[in-house]
Amino acid sequence: MVVLRKLPGMPGWPAALGLRLPQKFLFLLFLSGLLTLCFGALFLLPDSSRFKRLFLPRRATASASSSSSASSSSASSSSTRDTELPRSPPAAAEPRHASPAAPRRLREKLRAAARMAGPPARTAPGSRQQVQGGESRAQPASGAPPARETRAPFRFDYERFRRSLRHPVRGGRSGEDPETRARRMKIKEMMKFAWDNYKQYAMGKNELRPLTKNGHIGNMFGGLRGATVIDALDTLYIMELEEEFQEAKQWVEKSFDLNVNGEASLFEVNIRYIGGLLATYYLTGEEVFKSKALELGEKLLPAFNTPTGIPRGVINLGSGMSWSWGWASAGSSILAEFGTLHLEFLHLSQLSGNPVFAEKVMNIRRVLSRVEKPQGLYPNFLSPVTGSWVQHHVSIGGLGDSFYEYLIKSWLMSDKKDSEAKKMYDDALEAIEKHLVKKSAGGLTYIAEWRGGILDHKMGHLACFSGGMIALGAEHSTGERRQRHMELAAEITSTCHESYTRSDTKLGPEAFRFDAGSEATATRLSERYYILRPEVVESYMYLWRLTHHPKYRHWGWEVVQALEKHCRVEAGFSGIRDVYTTTPSHDNMQQSFFLAETLKYLYLLFCEDDVLSLEDWVFNTEAHPLPINHTDLKAAGQP
């Protein structure tokens, strides 16, 4: 007790204990060791420790932890911790935050950290995010790895990737009949016509207005321009429209500006811009497409900063603020939007060596696989705050569609290694077969929509992609299941064909119904339009490749003729307002997906199977081809 009251350092204190000289030395030695230990232990305490803040100056505490995280962080680090602390002190300079009061060893530590860090990290926009519901928190400026990387910079081995392909990308040109070639050439001419007019009247705008001969910008791409250029790139390349491809490439090099400040659809920017740039990089090896894709990918990352990691639908590409669509129930995110990022984001990780993109989409997968599914179905609206469904509307058409597509394609793109995606696809399709697949009185198979258990007997044009998707899944199944799914795919594709043949223009309406006596026809005025959509010819292309039944080429050619007759105008192709009348009423819009998808799928329908072979490529939902991972080009974070 006495010892406790007499503080160390008081004169005569050891003597008061009656110690001899050698014992005094030993005692002092022990005491100084103890003091050193206590001081050293301060550096091991967490940043939040009060003791640490008491005994060390504030800046030195931050620096100390910064230097320790520098040594332990890898390319994968993108934690919030990185946002709280300076990412990298300026190289070769006295660290800004080193206090003169900090002990010498600490200052040395900081200098070492500064040397490792290299130049300061680039600051991307979007350091704060405002989200619906009033949450607001600091965000990482980007998901880029900390600049303190000591390893050589990551470089994707493009040559190795090209060697991994089983077929030349534009095919080997083996024997084909003259009629097939002539039809393909006709489709190539349509692409050239669509491109030339866009170039002449709308170059750099998002779409061409072919009647008024000007450009359209719209508000889907957050101030980004050139949606048609980016969407057209790989189609021009595949069709060997070399000069036109060079025109498009030059625009990307010289005029494609990513420093924009507008509200963009996360989904649309991803499928059109990132998908188009990634595909063109893989096809050509031209670095500009890769670097633009990666830069744009980073700009999308703040949208994922929600309590669940489920991204919101809209993002300001300049500020990084994100929010949900005003029309989406209760601030929800849309299944087809957050569920259609997986393919592109895995490739962003593969090409950058930065796992953050893969981590974001794997987290979405986790949330979805855990949430309870009513009757095994996936409703279209999910809260990014709670991770639960907001409304029980299920559809394989708009709002749901490409989520299912990306499950089966994730499995295929992983060279069949991503078994979780395959299981989710199989289970979802089983529930769809059980609850949504119906046969009309006239014997047409269709997929209805589901509203809290009540069926809406309608199919959207968008839902017609499902024939191709189900066929693609069936191709890789076995036994009874393979046959059943192949039949289902063929029946749905046939129903979609019926929606075309039952119209006066031989083009299909936006939605068609199977009730009140109608069979694959639109019953509402507002559903009679056709905006150059690809989904029906997309299914023809898959069914052709997987069955080689000549009817699919025949049906595809019918579409070519109808497009020429009803949609081709003096300065491009236009959508029409009513497929049930041959009196033309054009909507004055040449959609970018007409060049990305409709013309590409039609062209591929009349190509040999080795052109963009299904053994080497999966198409993203905008028909941009992304390579199957045959070798260990595995993206970090990928299963």
Per CB under 6 A, 342 contacts ligand DMJ: no
Q: How far is the CB of 461 from ligand DMJ (least distance, A)?
A: 7
Tokens at residue 51, please?
A: 């003791």
518 in Cβ contact with 478 (< 8 Å):
no
Nearer to ligand DMJ, 109 or 272 (CB): 272
Determine the residue with CB nearest ligand DMJ.
Answer: 621
Q: How far is the CB of 586 from ligand DMJ (least distance, A)?
A: 18
Tokens at residue 536, please?
A: 């029906």
Which of the residues 510, 535, 538, 597 is marked catalytic? Answer: 510
Nearer to ligand DMJ, 495 or 598 (CB): 598
Nearer to ligand DMJ, 313 or 534 (CB): 534
Tokens at residue 355, please?
A: 């796992």
In 3-state terms the chain splits into helix, strand, coil percentages (rounded to 5) of: 50, 10, 40
Q: Is 401 helix (H, G, I), strand (E, B) or coil?
A: helix
Please enumerate in sequence order all residues whose Cβ is within 8 A of that of 525, keeping only pairs 6 or more positions apart, or say none: none
When binding is defined by CB under 6 A, the residue of 530, 593, 603, 617 that contacts ligand DMJ is 593
Q: How far is the CB of 130 from ligand DMJ (least distance, A)?
A: 28
Cα(432)–Cα(404) distance, integer angstroms = 11
Interface positions, 269-288, toward ligand DMJ (CB under 6 A) = none
Q: How far is the CB of 267 from ligand DMJ (least distance, A)?
A: 8
Tokens at residue 144, please?
A: 């880029």
Cα Dmax for the chain: 116
Number of residues that bind ligand DMJ (CB under 6 A): 8
Q: How far is the CB of 228 from ligand DMJ (least distance, A)?
A: 12
Nearer to ligand DMJ, 552 or 619 (CB): 619
Per CB under 6 A, 539 contacts ligand DMJ: no
Q: How far is the CB of 139 from ligand DMJ (least distance, A)?
A: 28
Please enumerate in sequence order all residues whose Cβ is within 8 A of that of 417, keeping only pairs 6 or more positions apart, or say none: 629, 639
Per CB under 6 A, 305 contacts ligand DMJ: no
Per CB under 6 A, 435 contacts ligand DMJ: no
Please give the backbone phi and psi of residue 33, each rounded to the nearest 5 degrees, phi first. -60, -45
Residue 611 β-bridge partners: 170
351 in Cβ contact with 407 (< 8 Å):
no
Please give the backbone phi and psi of residue 317, each rounded to the nearest 5 degrees, phi first. -70, -15
Distances 162 to 285, 530, 584, 631 between C-alpha atoms, Å: 9, 38, 47, 11
Nearer to ligand DMJ, 98 or 224 (CB): 224
When binding is defined by CB under 6 A, the residue of 622, 628, 637, 638 that contacts ligand DMJ is 622
Q: How far is the CB of 206 from ligand DMJ (least distance, A)?
A: 13
Per CB under 6 A, 533 contacts ligand DMJ: yes
Nearer to ligand DMJ, 220 or 633 (CB): 220
Residue 614 CB: number of other CB atoms within 10 A?
20
Cα(400)–Cα(491) distance, integer angstroms = 21
When binding is defined by CB under 6 A, the residue of 197, 402, 466, 638 that contacts ligand DMJ is 402
Per CB under 6 A, 459 contacts ligand DMJ: no
Per CB under 6 A, 316 contacts ligand DMJ: no
Nearer to ligand DMJ, 399 or 412 (CB): 399
Cα(539)–Cα(556) distance, integer angstroms = 10
Per CB under 6 A, 231 contacts ligand DMJ: no
Per CB under 6 A, 206 contacts ligand DMJ: no
Per CB under 6 A, 624 contacts ligand DMJ: no
CB-count burial class (<10 Å; 0-12, 13-18, 19+) for 494: middle
> How many Cα atoms within 13 Å fall on the side-chain side of residue 587?
16
510 is catalytic: yes
Please name which of 152, 149, 68 lies closest in space to residue 110, comparing C-alpha atoms: 68
Per CB under 6 A, 462 contacts ligand DMJ: yes
Q: How far is the CB of 231 from ligand DMJ (least distance, A)?
A: 9
Q: Which residues bind ligand DMJ (CB under 6 A)?
A: 402, 462, 533-534, 593, 597, 621-622
What amino acid positions are annotated as catalytic residues?
510
